[in-house]
Amino acid sequence: MSARHPGPPAAGGPGTLLKACGAVSAREVAAAAAGGADCVGLWHGIPGGRAELAEHTARGLAAEARSHGVEPVLVTFGDDPAALAAAADRTGVRWVQLHAYQLPRVVGGLRERAPGAVPVKVLHVDGGGRCLELRLADAYARAGTEMFLLDTATADGRVGSTGQALDAVGVLRIADRLPRPFLLAGGVTAARRADYDRVVEHPMFAGVDVDTGARGGDGELSETAVTELSRAWRTGRGRRKERS
């Protein structure tokens, strides 16, 4: 994990990780950094993805992120451990977010080939709070997963940037069974912070990962939006519910 965040932060406090996802330009990386993001997601290996980056672009933006003191995270659907390790090496990115339905052996294979990699495994949660991959959580941890990320899977099978929020009760039920800290994703906004008081207080809560809610009216990652997220999620304990 990054030097700034060696372990799970105190619940809802200033140590809460904030990851802004899907940067495609140095300007977006700088905006996320200026807003207070700790991590920025760079898509590589998401065929057809609107924020998919060529390897050399991901490498450049990773260096840009680091120059701002922000940890770059490679976000990928890839499931070939050798290719993932090579991509991490060539882009110079340590954190690898496996955003598809990769099995524990993919995590293990990545760690074998790239011992310095920090695998983040996404667990997909449906509208009823069900998470099919939950039964694999211990196996993911044994394979070397350092952090989980809970994200929405829609009824029609869409994953990633759904903009749809997870139900807090379902999140808590899953969090109780996780052997590693987790980031919350799925339609995260500043206003929705008030719905997650108990989630933020959970000992395994590490922070939030935001794509849609970190963007301005022009669709780009925005310093203002990230600043609002940072204020809400890092200091927002017990706030009254805001109107969205």
Ligand X SMILES: O=C(O)c1ccccc1N[C@@H]1O[C@H](COP(=O)(O)O)[C@@H](O)[C@H]1O
Give contact residues for ligand X (rule: CB under 6 A): 21-22, 41, 46, 49, 75, 99, 151, 160-163, 185-188, 209-213
The residues, any chain, with a CB within 8 Å of residue 73's CB and separated by 6 or more, are 19, 21, 39, 40, 41, 42, 93, 95, 96, 97, 120
By beta-carbon proximity to ligand X, the closer residue of 86 and 100 is: 100
Query: How far lies 171's CA from each of 98, 106, 123, 150, 213, in Å?
Result: 19, 25, 11, 8, 19
Task: Give residue for tokens 């912070």.
Answer: 193
Q: How far apart are CA 64 and CA 29, in angstroms?
A: 7
Q: Is 103 exposed, middle or buried (0-12, 13-18, 19+ CB in 10 A)?
A: middle
